[in-house]
Amino acid sequence: MVYTLKAVGSIAEIGQRDWDACANPCLTDPDCGKPFDPFLSYAFLHALEESGSACPASGWAPYHIALEDDEAGILGVIPMYLKSHSQGEYVFDHNWADAFERAGGQYYPKLQVAVPFTPATGRRILTRELAQPGDVQNMLVGGAMKMAENLSVSSVHFTFTQKDQWDRLGELGFLQRTHKQFHWHNKGYQQFDDFLEDLSSKKRKNIRRERRGARENGIEIEWVTGTDLTEVHWDAFYQFYMDTGSRKWGRPYLKRAFFSMIGETMADNVLLVMCKREGRYIAGAINFIGSECLFGRNWGCIEDHRFLHFETCYYQAIDFAIRHGLKRVEAGAQGPHKLARGYMPTHTYSAHWIVERSFREAVEQFLDQERQYVDEEIEYIEEHSPFRKA
């Protein structure tokens, strides 16, 4: 058996069959125990590349790693990008870059193992079920480290990785970092009111008030998914996305063509929550549907209405998850305001390989303190849970 490790400049060079066999083995083996992850799917990542959203011009040059043997073919892949900046990652290392360059180094380019523009936890070291996962994972990670040396880049970053892979990366010498997000967890609720009954009286009343207020002024809300998605919906949503993205980030990441592509290739995994007033769409949020989780992503509006953001992004997502038996809702990065709406803090994980030894030691000291702070912060927030005390 002869192994070959290669880097490719496009996911198309690996192909949909081989990529999905590694990224979502549940598609070929429903009993494998791994849930479907829409963001790791070939359709999603290919749409990012093909639309020009993730490409060298945007600072996200695909540099995916594939491990192949001469008998079984591709055994594992890593979604990796050569980055010329730190935008669109949601794990902030700008201070690291500033410090490194003040010391005379060149921080960019760097290698980023991630789903572009997507702060959602998932597997990052992707292996086929027929492979020996531990061995293949180690070879893939070793390949990423070797690529960093060959390209003379400063670092390799695995962001929003699952805890077990974070542990493995730590064993392989990566520096370990933690962060927090707010997720909603389904405790077997049959309807939205069941969830409300778990909350304290004050929080329950506030949510009901916000839900009533969001529909004032004759606003109607609809769910659009599957074959019901049309270019009319994408045109309206892209207008919302551009308005919010231009104000929030200065440069929205996703191109209009991206939305049409996912509408063609993965419509059943997309949920648009669209808000209409007086016959026209005025706001909306895009969600992606996994086998266990609803992932909230982008929101936008062209009219401001009180509580409409909370209703569209948080309460509608909870309602959809309950009706479809999903275990949780991940509503993206940031947002302590989500706590009062039933979203609880949870750890997220990233791992970092810094090539330059002295700088790696300095970052390690910082991360030791940061992890302790994150633990304490989550513990403090949990003490102020909106749920009724036992």
> Could you tell me how far CA 125 lies from the centroid of its own chain?
15
Per-residue model confidence (pLDDT) at position 243: 85
Name the band, by pLDDT with cuts 50, 70 and 90, for residue 151.
very high
What is the mean pLDDT of the segment spanning 67-87? 93
Average pLDDT for the chain: 94
Name the band, by pLDDT with cuts 50, 70 and 90, for residue 252.
confident
Is pLDDT at 227 greater than 90 in this prediction? yes
Is pLDDT at 139 greater than 60 in this prediction? yes
Q: Which tokens belong to 43?
A: 């359709």
Strand spans (E) along 175-217 = 175-185
Write out the H or E segment, with its range, that includes residue 157. Answer: strand 155-159
Per-residue model confidence (pLDDT) at position 102: 94
CATH number given to 3-181+347-382? 3.40.630.30
Per-residue model confidence (pLDDT) at position 55: 96
Place domain 187-326 in its CATH homologous superfamily.
Gcn5-related N-acetyltransferase (GNAT) (3.40.630.30)
Per-residue model confidence (pLDDT) at position 329: 98
Spatial distance between the Cα atoms of 151 and 131, rounded to a whole number of angstroms? 28
Q: How far apart are the first and last CA of the chain?
A: 58
Per-residue model confidence (pLDDT) at position 249: 57
What is the mean pLDDT of the segment spanning 152-169? 97
For the segment 312-329, what is each residue's pLDDT rounded down to a tens digit? 999 999 999 999 999 999
> Could you tell me how far CA 65 lies from the centroid of its own chain?
20
- Pairing state of beta strands 110-113 and 155-159? parallel
Spatial distance between the Cα atoms of 386 and 202, rounded to a whole number of angstroms? 9
Chain region(s) in the chain for CATH 3.40.630.30: 3-181+347-382, 187-326
What is the mean pLDDT of the segment spanning 178-197? 97
Is pLDDT at 133 greater than 80 in this prediction? no
Is pLDDT at 247 greater than 70 in this prediction? no
**Percentage of the chain with pLDDT > 90?**
88
Is pLDDT at 34 greater than 90 in this prediction? no
For the segment 338-384, what is each residue's pLDDT rounded down to a tens digit? 999 999 999 999 999 999 999 999 999 999 999 999 999 999 999 99
Name the band, by pLDDT with cuts 50, 70 and 90, for residue 258.
very high
Per-residue model confidence (pLDDT) at position 17: 95
Q: What is the pTM of this model?
A: 0.95
Q: Which amino acid is at 192?
A: F
Per-residue model confidence (pLDDT) at position 27: 86
For the segment 269-308, what is each residue's pLDDT rounded down to a tens digit? 999 999 999 999 999 999 999 999 999 999 999 999 999 9
